[in-house]
């Protein structure tokens, strides 16, 4: 298009100026980020590290924009084509600033939430919402400054909102259910939960449409947010990580109940420190909880650091109890049946 201006030499000169400026500014950028990173490493706050990492990628666009501006400003192009270039330059600057603000905002919010007592990480949905709002505002700023009225666009969005809501009813239901989960926090990223339908696992992410559970088998269960919000949920990490483990033990009726209680209590206390996850406080307790058909039923209760410790703790504690009962000659009964066969010939 510049050939129409009758000055192809101006294009060559502008290209050279752009290339030289680009190379120089990239060198300056690299040196500047190196100095800033060293300075940020000496401070006691993470805010400066977050800001530096957030603007690292958008700064590439700033280098390009500044080089383009110098090339245009020193060129002999007609004002018409300079205006086109400045419009592209403006869009590039606004988009890069929008990207930097989005990166900084999401990173700062994540850092702030991780410093709370709950130590709740920002989920995919919350990051998406923050970035989407900032990008929409940046897009509206670009349209407004390019002379495109945004009032008709907003009006059209308002009128078409109802049709979009009806067409995307399920999607919006999942979106708002996910936002409700994030605000109310019945489950959080990292929690171990179980649904009334049987699915259980660690919450790995709460997205705009689905929530992902990582099972103990390392598989991922994907649950729509609206289904999750309607489910009966057991959260094993609320109100705290600690949980109780109850193990039932049956012995013969001829056994001395006090002696059995003391044996079980001794083994539970031995497990503290020897078995992963078993806590000394509150101390283990043993209770006689029932009279079964063929056994006295005792329940050993001890505290665990968290729910997933129960599998190894049950395994080790049951082995310890079984070994001790055998050494003490205390039998664990099992149901027996006597079958009598009647000879009809005797009748």
301: domain CATH number is: 3.30.70.100
Assess whether 150 and 179 both reside in one domain: no
The whole-angstrom separation of Cα 95 and Cα 57 is: 12
The string of pLDDT tens digits covering residues 20-30 is 888 888 888 88
pLDDT over 50 (residue 253): yes
Q: Tell me whether residue 21 is in a domain.
A: yes
The 8 Å CB, 24+ separation contacts for 132-136 are: 134/98, 134/101, 134/102, 134/105, 135/98, 135/102
User: Is 342 inside any structural domain?
Assistant: no
How is 251-264 classified by DSSP, letter by letter?
A: E-TTS-HHHHHHHH
Considering the domain boundaries, does residue 122 fall inside one?
Answer: yes
**Of the candidates 229, 320, 333, 331, the residue with the CA atom closest to the CA atom of residue 291:** 333
Between strands 233-235 and 243-251, the pairing is: unpaired
Q: Is residue 89 part of a domain?
A: yes
Same structural domain for residues 102 and 181? no
CB atoms within 10 A of CB 318: 14
* pLDDT tens track for 119-133: 444 555 566 666 777
Using one digit for the tens of pLDDT, what is the confidence trace for 38-51?
A: 777 777 666 667 67
- Point out the domain boundary residue: 235, 263, 283: 235
pLDDT digits (tens, 9 = 90+) for 293-318: 888 999 999 999 988 888 999 999 99
- The pLDDT value recorded for residue 5 is 46
Residues 206 and 256 reside in one and the same domain? no
Instruction: Say which CATH number the domain at 231 has.
Output: 2.30.30.60
- Residues 52, 201, single domain; the answer is no
- DSSP reduced 3-state for 165: helix
- My answer on whether 63 and 150 are in the same domain is yes
Residue 343 lies in a domain: no
- pTM of the shown model: 0.54
Q: Which two tokens stand for residue 281?
A: 């406080």
How many distinct structural domains can be found in the chain?
3
**Residues 154 and 54 placed together within one structural domain of the fold:** yes
- Are 34 and 108 within one domain? yes
Tell me the residue range of the domain where 294 lies: 243-327
Residues 65 and 143 in one domain: yes
Q: What are phi and psi of 148, to 5 degrees?
A: -95, 120
For 53-99, the pLDDT digits (tens) are: 777 777 787 788 778 777 777 776 666 666 666 777 777 777 777 77
Tens of pLDDT, residues 268-289: 999 998 898 899 888 999 999 9
**Predicted pLDDT of residue 341:** 75
What's the token pair of residue 106? 């999401």
**Does some domain include residue 346?**
no
81 part of a folded domain: yes
284 belongs to a structural domain: yes
Kindly state the average pLDDT of the residues 234-263.
Answer: 91
Do 179 and 134 belong to one domain? no
């Amino acid at each position: 298009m510049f050939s129409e201006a009758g000055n192809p030499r101006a294009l060559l000169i502008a290209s050279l100026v752009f290339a030289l400026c680009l190379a120089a500014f990239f060198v300056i950028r690299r040196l500047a980020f190196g100095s800033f990173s060293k300075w940020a490493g000496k401070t006691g706050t993470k805010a400066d590290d977050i800001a530096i990492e957030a603007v690292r990628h958008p700064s590439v666009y700033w280098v390009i924009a500044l080089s383009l501006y110098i090339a245009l400003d020193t060129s002999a192009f007609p004002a018409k084509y300079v205006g086109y270039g400045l419009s592209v330059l403006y869009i590039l600057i606004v988009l890069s600033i929008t990207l930097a603000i989005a990166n900084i905002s999401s990173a700062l919010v994540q850092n702030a939430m991780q410093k709370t007592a709950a130590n709740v990480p920002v989920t995919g949905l919350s990051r998406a919402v923050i970035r989407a709002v900032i990008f929409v505002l940046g897009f509206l700023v670009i349209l407004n400054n390019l002379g495109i009225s945004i009032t008709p666009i907003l009006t059209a969005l308002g009128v078409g909102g109802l049709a979009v809501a009806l067409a995307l009813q399920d999607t919006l239901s999942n979106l708002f259910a996910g936002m409700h989960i994030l605000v109310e926090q019945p489950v959080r990223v990292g929690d171990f939960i179980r649904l009334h339908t049987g699915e259980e696992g660690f919450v790995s992410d709460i997205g705009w449409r689905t929530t992902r559970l990582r099972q103990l088998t390392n598989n991922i269960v994907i649950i729509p947010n609206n289904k999750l919000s309607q489910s009966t949920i057991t959260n094993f990490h609320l109100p705290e990580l600690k949980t109780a483990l109850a193990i039932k033990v049956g012995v013969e009726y001829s056994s001395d109940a006090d002696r059995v209680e003391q044996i079980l209590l001794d083994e539970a206390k031995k497990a503290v420190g020897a078995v992963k996850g078993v806590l000394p406080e509150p101390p283990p307790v043993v209770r006689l909880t029932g009279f079964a058909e063929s056994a006295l039923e005792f329940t050993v209760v001890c505290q665990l650091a968290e729910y997933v410790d129960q599998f190894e703790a049950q395994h080790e504690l049951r082995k310890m109890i079984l070994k001790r009962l055998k050494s003490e000659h205390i039998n664990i009964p099992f149901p027996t049946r006597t079958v009598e066969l009647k000879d009809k010939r005797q009748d």
